[in-house]
Chains A and B, each alone.
Chain A
Amino acid sequence: GQNIDQPTEMTATEGAIVQINCTYQTSGFNGLFWYQQHAGEAPTFLSYNVLDGLEEKGRFSSFLSRSKGYSYLLLKELQMKDSASYLCAVRDSNYQLIWGAGTKLIIKP
């Protein structure tokens, strides 16, 4: 079966750095997405990786290793507004998005 694993919840301090991991087992691979979802709102796109390596976009970076079925989202200089759920999703060989359950990130002052 297809599976996406990410931690359920993480806590970090304002101003610090946090890394949210995602491992996947899917039928084929056509890209990995990270989305941010605030409570009661729809997800918003953060990043897309299809090749191995690090993609940096401001305070957020996303890394992919296809051979290991592994990705992480790195958030720097954490702000209180970064408190949200972070969803990892993989597009499989049928171009379907397989979603992880999300990681709830709690930022403390």
Chain B
Amino acid sequence: GAVVSQHPSRVICKSGTSVKIECRSLDFQATTMFWYRQFPKQSLMLMATSNEGSKATYEQGVEKDKFLINHASLTLSTLTVTSAHPEDSSFYICSASPLSGGDTYEQYFGPGTRLTVT
């Protein structure tokens, strides 16, 4: 149980285009989903926390107009990288928690999406 999927697993796009990444909780309802970015040989960096039906909370330094997050249902959150540039190339990972707020026990991670911007 507690499977999280991400799509696509890899994407290559041209500079200036937008890319949408989907994160789905397959066998549980996720009231909270998290989006991370990880550069090579570095730790996970939390980008934003999204709760179903409300606006995402972005971490300091993350541009909310560039990284659009939508959490329209209890099983789906999307991250759209708008006007992507080569420096946005990274490994994007989502995670989901089956309980909301402070009762989060653990986060279940998706397999990640490797974004390459040329």
Write the residues of chain A forming the contact surface with B, with a CB cutoff of 8 angstroms. 30, 33, 40-45, 48, 87, 91, 95-97, 99-102
Contacts and interface: CB of A to CB of B under 8 A. Distances in A.
6 contacts: A42-B93, A43-B109, A87-B43, A95-B102, A99-B44, A100-B43
B106 interface: yes
A41 B73 CA distance: 26
Contacts of A40: 91, 112, 114
Contacts of B91: 40
B118 interface: no
Interface residues of B, number: 20
Contact of A96 (B44, B46, B110, B114): B46
B89 interface: no
Contacts of A101: 42-43
The 10 closest A-B pairs by CB, nearest first: A42-B109, A101-B43, A42-B112, A95-B102, A99-B44, A99-B43, A42-B93, A42-B111, A43-B109, A45-B106
B44 A43 contact: yes
Given A41-B112, A42-B93, A42-B111, A48 B106 contact: yes
Nearest to A33: B106
A20 B104 CA distance: 25
Contacts of B114: 40
